[in-house]
Amino acid sequence: MIQHVVTFQFSGTPAERKAVAEEFRAALLALPEKIEQLKSMEVGINMNPAETWDLVLTARADTLADIAAYSAHPAHVAAVSIIAGHKAQRACVDYEV
C-alpha cells in the first residue's frame, strides 16, 4: 500500500487562501467515489495561523502506478484546476505502508 502525502501553500490573502482550500478540499474528498485506484483520501485545512502551509492531503492506493493513474484521471485534473493561479508551493512524499 502506498501513502501519498501532498501539502499545498496558496497565494493571496488569508481569506482567499482559505476559500481556495475549502473548494479544493471538497473536490478532493469526492475523488475516491470517482477513481477506483484510490482506497482512501483525507484532506485537512491548516488552522494554525503561525504556519504557512494551507492544505494537506493523504491518499492511499495499492501501487505507485495507481497513484499515477489517479493523478492523470480527469476528475483529479478538474480538482487541481481549482487551485490554478493560487498554488504557491507544493510538496509530495509517497511511501510504502
Question: pLDDT tens digits for 63-92?
Answer: 999 999 999 999 999 999 999 999 999 999
Query: Quick one: which of 50, 48, 54 has its CA closest to 90?
Result: 54
CA dihedral sign of residues 44, 3, 68, 63 = negative
Question: pLDDT tens digits for 37-64?
Answer: 999 999 999 999 899 999 999 999 999 9
Q: What is the pLDDT of residue 13?
A: 93
Q: Rg of the Cα trace of the chain?
A: 13
HSE of 31 in the Cβ direction (CA atoms, 13 Å)?
Answer: 31
Reading the block at residue 40, the C-alpha cell is: 482512501
Query: Quick one: which of 80, 84, 81 has its CA closest to 57?
Result: 80
